[in-house]
Amino acid sequence: MKQAIQIKENMYWVGVHDFNCRHFHGDLFPIAEGTTYNSYLIVDEQVTLIDTVEEEFYDTMMERIRSVIGERTIDNVIVQHAEPDHSGGFLKFMKDYPNARPYASNAGVGIMLKQYFKSYDFQRVKTGDTLSTGRYTLTFVEMPMIHWPDNMLTYVAEQKIAFSNDAFGQHIASYDIFDDAHGAAKCIDRAKDYYANIVMPYGMQVANKLKQIRDMNLDIDMIAPAHGIIWRSYLPELFQAYEDFATFKAVDKAVIVYESVWKHTQMMAEALAEGMGRNGICVKIFKCSMTSPAIIQKELLDAKAVLVGSGNYNNAMAGSIAAFLEKLITCKVKNKKGLGFGSYGWANLVTKEINARLEKAGITLLNDEVVSQNYTPSEADLDALMELGKQIAEEIKAM
């Protein structure tokens, strides 16, 4: 029988491991080692479940719950987020516990009704509303657009624990469910990966919510998210990392993303990288069609510059580059500079279009010139690109 794991007195992790998950949010976020769907049980005068799990894992969650409470009823269920990886088991739960009172944000109730087409006696809550379960008082904090309109956090003052749903999540699938079992560097790196691929467009909302939580003077010594490990030892590092993520705090780093058939654009990319790398800039260079988009997203988060290159294919840029730029536009990046480049045969059209899309993404161009190459770059052409890379390095360091 699957067992619950106690995380604090009267509080238990009753989630599931999905070790076989390799694509999160469809194919948008490839992941390496699987993930978890975390549910939590509070055992008090009233028993409260915080979030359910994917529908297919419902029975596993229930095994863990019954390992703690047996056949005792559950009085409350908190729907912190209506996305199916957290609410998919809700209908089965309500069938098993028809007298349980469900709590959700106003937006959450609306989404649940639109997803599952069944009305329950939802208790609509907003920031500052509370639920007393006996010894414990649960305080709700709305977190809209981190990363859906309905997200919320549940705080238990008596235990100094915040159940944060998607906020502060990461993909670490392990039976060692606390951060200190994995080390600060790994945990923060996985949190960065998750933030870059799920939360990046909502940096302003994250910054505002971090400020609100500080202003509410919530005394927190544990954060229990909906994915990955539970934070208890590295909270200062986590909060600082989220502050940096939300403000797009950057280092002297450039990301080069390109596509190339006959290596002409690749040669340009490598020459630009050489010029920057020799002059103190960390350079990450990726052939777009051969690289997981999750890797590129993560590296973009704290880079000062992004350079994008493509050859001309029937007067258009490569499809992978077009898709990358469309996604970049949705990311709402701040305080970054960029540059388009590429090779062509008979129609020098693509580089201007890349630059236009970079500007549409809110990125300031590094250079007013159109950096294009007709067919194969000569040694002199490559030397000129390395010199341009050197100039870009100085501009990056001055940012």
* Per annotation, catalytic residue among 194, 202, 242, 344: 194
Question: Active-site residue 182, yes or no?
Answer: no
Q: Please report, as a single letter, which amino acid is at residue 41.
A: L
Choosing from 51, 83, 179, 193, which is the catalytic residue? Answer: 83
Give Cα 365 to chain centroid, integer Å.
26
* From 18, 54, 75, 85, active-site residue: 85
Residue 97 bears catalytic tag: no
Rounded CA-CA distance 76/312 in Å is 59
Say which residues have a Cβ less than 8 Å from residue 288's Cβ, sequence separation at least 6.
257, 258, 259, 296, 318, 320, 321, 324
86 as an active site residue: the answer is: no
Active site residue 85: yes
Marked catalytic residue, from 81, 86, 182, 264: 81
CA separation, residue 255 to residues 85, 239, 329, 345, 352 (Å): 32, 25, 16, 26, 19
227 is catalytic: yes
- Which amino acid appears at position 74 of this protein? I
Neighbours of 54 (CB within 10 A): 18
Of the listed 18, 51, 54, 166, which one is catalytic? 166
Q: Exactly one of 147, 171, 182, 264 is catalytic; which is it? A: 147
Can 81 be counted among the known catalytic residues?
Answer: yes
Distance in Å from the first CA to the final CA of the chain: 57
Q: Residues in the chain, how many?
A: 399
Would you name the residues annotated as active-site residues? 25, 81, 83, 85, 147, 166, 194, 227
